[in-house]
Amino acid sequence: MPTTHATAHAKAGMIARLNHPDYDRWASQIKRTGGCRQPIHLRGKVDHYDPATGQLLHRYTTRTEPDGILRVPCKTRRASRCPACAETYRADTYHLIRAGLVGGKGVPETVTSHPTLFVTLTAPSFGAAHTRREHGGKVQPCHARRNATTCPHDRVMSCTTRHGRDDPRLGEPLCPDCYDYTGSVLFNALAPLLWKRFADSVRRHLAKLGGLLLKELRHHLTLSFAKVAEYQRRGVVHFHAVIRLDGPGGPDAPPPGWATPDSLTRAIRHAAKAVSATAPPYDDQPERVLRWGDQLDIRPITLSGDLTEQAVAGYIAKYATKAAECVGTLDRRIHSLETLDAYDLREHARRLIATCIRLGALPDLAELRLADWAHMLGFRGHFSTRSRHYSSTLGDIRADREQHARDNEITTGRLPFFDDDTVLVISEWEYAGKGHSIGDQLLAAAITGGCR
Ligand SMILES: [Zn+2]
Ligand SMILES: [Zn+2]
Ligand SMILES: [Zn+2]
């Protein structure tokens, strides 16, 4: 590698850090962040007082830490921003999803006997796009049409290529000028509402199957779920969900006898077809009704067999750390069309983002906040959500880990051992920045085995 100004600067920074007397403490801070690429810097102190006498028993201050700060992990779920923290998020999500399938983390093992399905709800088509399909292990031609039509823009609506897995054309429309970009971003914007209506409709249908009024249902049965949004290459979201039937109050009690996998399947099929969400009219355009696509996949989750609980938990956890970057777009907010040119975007992603920005400026569509969520191609929902009774929460799992870290600080003598109930703890923290200098970044990667 040629010695550029940047690498010389990095080397000087690394040498200074390595030679500094507090290097060991710095390295241990870095190890504790687990290789976070963009740690948060905190300045502050924690005082332990005796509540009876007001005596200061112990003080921790960042003043004695390297650079006078404590580095803590950024905790992002986005793998594109920080692979290390996203990996933690992925692992936590995995355990959370798995607990909802086989028990653990406060969920009883009897949950395995509750009807549980893995459901994929898809977006409808917004125009022909290059795809890769396999049939019997063989890749099929993309859009082979014997008597292919020519679109009004003179493009033949056919593609006989057997696309490779990484073909950059995958997800791109056969004709970008025919493609319904408006429909695509409106669908993403309304997908969270569509999901909510879907879940409500499943409950209503189940109540009907059980001969109950909807308001009586919760005294008999709880619909528990964990879902994750996945971007398709064409830039629309799909939802994958674990949907489970519990007794009243959650997984501790079994659902009533009539609530079988079969009745859950029927309720899901019904709901996926029945629900819609409407985008308001704007300019000379009429209102637009959006629904789920025809492809609905419902599969039982079993402990052995095709779709195991590990596979499902792994699948959901993997998508929980992704954003729309898989379609070659950005993982940060975009503020105007002009700034778009600064990014190296594929045409399809650029058009989706531009459509969000254009529609986002219309007062009639203001409530969809499309401009704010242009970088997510219109989707402003949560990537990974769980209903209240699904299993333990990410917060609980994090608290467990933090308690573990605290125990470690106590055994290594950095924190005093006080019974939490008998001391008064007063903490003061302030945000003091984020990230690493270029030299620190290289050193941190070497210490924690990070690749960048
Ligand atoms: Zn991080
Ligand atoms: Zn193709
Ligand atoms: Zn066309």
pLDDT for residue 17: 92
Identify residues whose C-beta is under 5 A from ligand 2, the ion: 130, 142, 159, 161
Q: Which ligand sits nearest to residue 450's alpha carbon?
A: 1
pLDDT for residue 397: 75
Classify burial at 285, counting beta carbons within 10 Å of its beta carbon; exposed 0-12, middle 13-18, buried 19 or more: middle
Q: Which ligand sits nearest to residue 175's alpha carbon?
A: 3
Mean pLDDT of 90-108: 89
Residues 6+ apart with CB under 8 A from 307: 118, 299, 300, 301
Between the CA of 173 and the centroid of ligand 3 the distance, in Å, is: 9
Whole-angstrom Cα distance, residue 127 to residue 179? 5
Between the CA of 109 and the centroid of ligand 2 the distance, in Å, is: 47
Tokens describing residue 134: 């396999």
The mean pLDDT value of the chain amounts to 88
Q: What is the DSSP string of 250-277?
A: BTTSPPPTT--HHHHHHHHHHHHHH--E
Lowest mean pLDDT among 233-242, 260-269, 301-310, 413-422: 413-422
250, β-bridge pairs: 247
Nearest residue to 346 via CA among 358, 329, 360, 326 = 329
Residues shown for the chain: 452
Per-residue b or e along 195-210, where b marks 16 or more CB atoms closer than 10 Å to that residue's CB: bebbbebbbbbbbebb
pLDDT for residue 452: 41
Tokens describing residue 216: 């009586």
3-state secondary structure of 71: strand
Residue 327 has pLDDT above 90, yes or no: no
Dihedral pair phi/psi, residue 451, rounded to 5°: -95, -15
Which sign, positive or negative, has the C-alpha torsion 19, 21, 24, 26? negative
7 vs 419, which has greater pLDDT?
Answer: 7
* Reduced DSSP (H G I as helix, E B as strand, rest coil) percent helix, strand, coil of the chain, to 5: 40, 20, 40
Between the CA of 130 and the centroid of ligand 3 the distance, in Å, is: 14
- Residues 200-235 have pLDDT tens digits of 999 999 999 999 999 999 999 999 999 999 888 899
Mean pLDDT of 91-112: 89
- Residues 36-46 have pLDDT tens digits of 989 989 898 88
Residue 416 has pLDDT above 80, yes or no: no
Residue 52 has pLDDT above 50, yes or no: yes
Residue 34 has pLDDT above 60, yes or no: yes
224, β-bridge pairs: 244
pLDDT for residue 394: 77
Lowest mean pLDDT among 20-34, 177-191, 408-422: 408-422
Between the CA of 77 and the centroid of ligand 1 the distance, in Å, is: 9
Pairing state between β 384-386 and 222-231: antiparallel
- Residues 269-279 have pLDDT tens digits of 999 999 999 99
Between the CA of 158 and the centroid of ligand 3 the distance, in Å, is: 12
Residue 3 has pLDDT above 60, yes or no: no
Q: Which ligand sits nearest to residue 82's alpha carbon?
A: 1
Tokens describing residue 142: 């993309």
Between the CA of 373 and the centroid of ligand 1 the distance, in Å, is: 23
Q: What is the DSSP string of 151-180?
A: -TTS-BS-B-----TT-TTTT-BS-TTTS-
Percent of the chain with pLDDT over 70: 92
Q: Which ligand sits nearest to residue 162's alpha carbon?
A: 2
Query: CA triplet 145, 150, 152: central angle to 5 degrees?
Result: 145
325 vs 95, which has greater pLDDT?
Answer: 95
Between the CA of 16 and the centroid of ligand 2 the distance, in Å, is: 54
Residue 10 has pLDDT above 90, yes or no: no
Q: What is the DSSP string of 287-302?
A: PEEE---S-EEEEE-B
